[in-house]
């Protein structure tokens, strides 16, 4: 198993704009886990595309297809990247 690291230019503090980003229901997002945060993040979600369903507290409920089933996950916005 290979150790995961950030590239040199990505190290350091997390950008606050990414930490507090606002998303609307229906926005398409990519799930990109932030390695600087301590809690474990499920590997199977890394790189997946999902749709924002609603906001729940400071996190977002995202809906994605896992095979033929539709699943919902609650994810902090620092792990979400808005797609155009």
- Is residue 8 assigned to a domain? no
- Is residue 48 assigned to a domain? yes
What is the pLDDT, as a whole number, of residue 56? 94
For residue 42, the domain's CATH number is 2.30.30.70
What is the pLDDT, as a whole number, of residue 1? 58
Concatenate the DSSP letters of all residues of 49-69 into one string. Answer: EEEEEEEETTEEEEEEEETTE
- Is residue 7 assigned to a domain? no
- Total-model pTM: 0.83
What is the pLDDT, as a whole number, of residue 3? 66
- Is residue 3 assigned to a domain? no
Number of domains within the chain: 1
For residue 22, what are the domain limits?
13-82
- Is residue 29 assigned to a domain? yes
- Is residue 35 assigned to a domain? yes
Give exposure, 35-66, as e/b (b: 16+ Cβ within 10 Å).
Answer: eeeeeebeeebeebebebbeeeeeebebebee
- Is residue 1 assigned to a domain? no
pLDDT per residue over 16-62, tens digit each? 888 899 999 999 999 998 888 877 788 888 899 999 999 999 999 99
């Amino acid at each position: 198993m290979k150790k995961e690291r950030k590239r040199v230019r990505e190290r350091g503090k997390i950008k606050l704009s990414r930490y507090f980003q606002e998303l609307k229901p229906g926005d398409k997002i990519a799930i990109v886990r932030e390695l600087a945060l301590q809690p474990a993040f499920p590997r199977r979600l890394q790189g997946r595309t999902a749709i924002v369903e609603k906001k729940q507290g400071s996190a977002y409920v995202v809906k994605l297809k896992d095979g033929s089933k539709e699943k919902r996950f609650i994810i902090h916005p620092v792990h979400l990247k808005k797609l155009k």
